[in-house]
Amino acid sequence: MGRQHSDVSSSRSWQPNPALDMPLFRQIEAYIRQKITTGEWSAGTRLPSQRTLAASMGVNRSTLVTALDNLTAAGMIEGRHGGGTYVCGSGWHSMAHAAMPNWIEAAEEGWYYPNLPEIQQINQAEFRPGIIRLGTGELAPELMPNEAFNEILQNMSSRMRTLNYIEPQGSLELREALSVHLQSSGIQTSPDSILIVSGSLQALHLISVGLLPRGSAVLLEKPSYLYSIHAFQSAGLKLSGIAMDEEGLQPGLLERAIQSVKMEKSEQSSESFPLLYTIPSFHNPTGSVMSYKRRQELMSLARRSGISILEDAAYQELWLDHAPPPSLKATDQEGRVLYMGTLSKAVSPGLRLGWLVGPVPVIRRLADIKMQTDYGTSSLAQDAAALWFADGHHTSHMERLRPELRKRRDFILELLHRYFHDIAEYTTPEGGFYIWLRFTAEPLSTRRLFHACLEKDVLIHPGYLYDRLDASHIRLSYAYASQDEMERGLIVLAQAARRLLTSST
């Protein structure tokens, strides 16, 4: 893991009060001093640039510089060769606090990988006032079922609900409701084969530490959402990307990758086989759908080779034109497929609720690990989700949601044709949230494009978040931004792209 500086966030910053008798520079000095002496900003913490800090505090730069000069003279901050201002790790402050722990170093030594810098910027910028979120994989607030959940919460208030811990696999009432719900997708499973998790990310984490030995291979599509997080890499697992075509994973390439992993394992005298992670329906980030024929080929290959499959069905129900082919789990006759579902995409990310379907030994193993980490997903969220399914809210919500998403998809396609017809290409998604846009004019740095748009309060997701070698794609979403925001944001994006193309030429 590369060493990184811990930076002070400039979002939602404190500002000095002009109405006070104390001069503004003294207020700034006292504020930063307090952050340092309480240990909130530990030795080695990097402060934002003077321009950024002055803007966030609402003062002119000379006022800020006066405060920083005083703090430098006091030995609390220092400028370093190569640029940047940091909290001192030496001088009177450290002498007076000789036993203070070095939290910066400790944070860098942890085994869990940090997010990519752009992911960290996206996570912070999404909550910036006025930002236009063109890449967000989340429903807009107005598309969420607020009225239905108000009704559910009212029903919950009139019923006796448990506030205690519940059993390791999750609420039996919810698992029974999910067992019935999954039958509509052709998946036959009992409540004993279902584990309730706090969103898909927790399921990925549990699998990475509970089922796969360190050094194991995880095969996956390339590009893939899994490259944008570090659940598997942090557990010491190796990701091996397989190229896709218009029908999904290419079986020939997948088979060669499986054989390669098997040969490597045989040399190590290991009997474990690789796990394949796939998003067959409305893939993230490309939006593609694996064909029925390709799904059959994939299951046949899995049986011949002995591999297991983790199917991520986060977008399975978000079809817009017609339903996708049956899930891999629906055709699984051997317990080979682990099936991961969630309410985060189609209903509400704030519920933090998902589920994993698999063989009972797997579910019990992961439930035991889950109990060691959080002692169970919120019982209130599980009660609400059980009513959501049992009272028929899910079906009616999906019937209302699909036309709204279809309208948004068609609108963004019109805008893309208008503003990008000569510099980019894309396909029409049949469901999900995403458009995988490729710039055909070269050279164009999507990294520079990301930062240029962010400076204009437009947030996009560059393709290299999902494939480190990708230099020409960006992921766009039509699920979050309003129509007005879509148009304003895409105009900014088109202008920035054309400026970069002109300057590079």
Query: Could you tell me if residue 261 is inside a domain?
Result: yes
Give the pLDDT of residue 99.
54
CATH number at residue 55: 1.10.10.10
pLDDT of 467 over the 90 cut:
yes
Mean pLDDT for the stretch of residues 311-340? 97
CATH number at residue 436: 3.90.1150.10
Cβ atoms of residues 311 and 337 within 8 Å? yes
Q: Of the ranges 52-61, 334-343, 356-365, 391-400, which one carries the lowest mean pLDDT score?
A: 52-61
Cβ atoms of residues 308 and 273 within 8 Å? yes
280, 424: one domain: no
Query: Could you tell me if residue 10 is inside a domain?
Result: no
Give the pLDDT of residue 114.
86
79, 133: one domain: no
pLDDT of 320 over the 90 cut:
yes
Burial-class residue 82 by CB neighbours within 10 Å (0-12, 13-18, 19+).
exposed
pLDDT of 283 over the 90 cut:
yes
273, 213: one domain: yes
Top-confidence residue, 265 or 378: 378
Residue 36 confidence class, pLDDT cut points 50, 70, 90: confident
361, 456: one domain: no
Give the pLDDT of residue 3.
44
435, 312: one domain: no
Give the pLDDT of residue 12.
55
496, 352: one domain: no
Mean pLDDT for the stretch of residues 187-202? 96
93, 128: one domain: no
Give the pLDDT of residue 116.
87
Neighbouring CB atoms inside 10 A of 61's CB total: 12
DSSP assignment string, 122-183: HHHHTTSTT-EESS--S--GGGS-HHHHHHHHHHHHTS----S---TT--HHHHHHHHHHHH
Mean pLDDT for the stretch of residues 454-468? 97
Give the pLDDT of residue 4.
46
Q: Of the ranges 39-53, 57-71, 190-204, 331-345, which one carries the lowest mean pLDDT score?
A: 39-53
pLDDT tens digits along 412-440: 999 999 999 999 999 999 999 999 999 99
pTM (2 d.p.): 0.84
- Helix (H) / strand (E) containing 208: helix 200-210
Direct distance between the N- and C-terminal alpha carbons of the chain, in angstroms, rounded to an integer = 36
Query: Could you tell me if residue 52 is inside a domain?
Result: yes
275, 352: one domain: yes
Cβ atoms of residues 276 and 207 within 8 Å? no
Mean pLDDT for the stretch of residues 180-198? 96
Residue 270 confidence class, pLDDT cut points 50, 70, 90: low
pLDDT tens digits along 227-242: 999 999 999 999 999 9
Mean pLDDT for the stretch of residues 158-162? 70
282, 196: one domain: yes
Q: What are residue 462's DSSP bridge partners? A: 474
Domain-terminating residue out of 365, 391, 417: 391
Q: What are residue 425's DSSP bridge partners? A: 438
Distance CA 478, CA 412 (A): 7
Q: Residue 72 belongs to what domain range?
A: 24-110
Cβ atoms of residues 298 and 251 within 8 Å? yes
Token pair 């193309």: residue: 501
259, 350: one domain: yes
Query: Could you tell me if residue 15 is inside a domain?
Result: no
Residue 268 confidence class, pLDDT cut points 50, 70, 90: low
Mean pLDDT for the stretch of residues 87-109? 63
Query: Could you tell me if residue 242 is inside a domain?
Result: yes
434, 336: one domain: no
Could you give the 3-state DSSP secondary structure of residue 467?
coil
Residue 92 confidence class, pLDDT cut points 50, 70, 90: very low
- Helix (H) / strand (E) containing 450: helix 446-455
Give the pLDDT of residue 352.
93
Nearest to 294 by CA among 247, 257, 224: 247
Domain total in the chain: 3
CATH number at residue 166: 3.40.640.10
The whole-chain average pLDDT of the chain stands at 91
Query: Could you tell me if residue 336 is inside a domain?
Result: yes
Give the pLDDT of residue 96.
53
367, 469: one domain: no
Cβ atoms of residues 356 and 338 within 8 Å? yes
Give the pLDDT of residue 44.
82
